[in-house]
Structure 1
Amino acid sequence: MAGVTTATITRYENERGGLLAATRDKIQITLESAGISFLADGDVAAGPGVSFRVEL
């Protein structure tokens, strides 16, 4: 779907390698076209969702 192999995704998910910026961008664009929103630091979601808790 994003033009990225499943091996690349699996390697990244298992923390066995990083992503090139171009690969990251392909994945993000594909997810955004499917309705996923990426929030910048401090942004607030408009509806239900999950986020990381800020550690103080």
Structure 2
Amino acid sequence: MARSALGLGVRELAELAQVSPNTIARFERGDILKEGTVATIRSALEVAGVIFIDPNGGGPGIRLKNR
């Protein structure tokens, strides 16, 4: 959802996170990745403008930073 909200493709996010496109695809499929890899992807999304919203009864979510 975060990648799509930013208008990024799998390859673009992979480049930002410095991981392979296959890693992004595996993550989006729900495969289990190392915690450090997930943190790297999250950090890249945050730098690109995503704010992650903690679950508050309705599940986790995102919003975009004001630009």
TM class, shorter-chain normalised? 0.5 to 0.7
Q: TM-score, normalised by structure 2?
A: 0.53
Higher radius of gyration, 1 or 2: 1
The answer to which structure has the higher strand fraction is 2
**Segments ≥4 residues shifted beyond 4 Å:** none
1:8 match: 23
Q: TM-score, normalised by structure 1?
A: 0.62
Give percent identity, aligned residues only: 33
CA RMSD across the alignment: 1.5
Figure out how many residues of one structure are paired with residues of the other and give that number.
Answer: 42
> Which blocks of at least 5 consecutive residues in structure 2 are unaligned?
1-15, 57-62
Which residues in structure 2 correspond to 1:1-56 (within 5 Å)? 1-15=16-30, 17-42=31-56
Task: Please state how far the C-alpha of 1:12 moved relative to its aligned partner.
Answer: 2.4
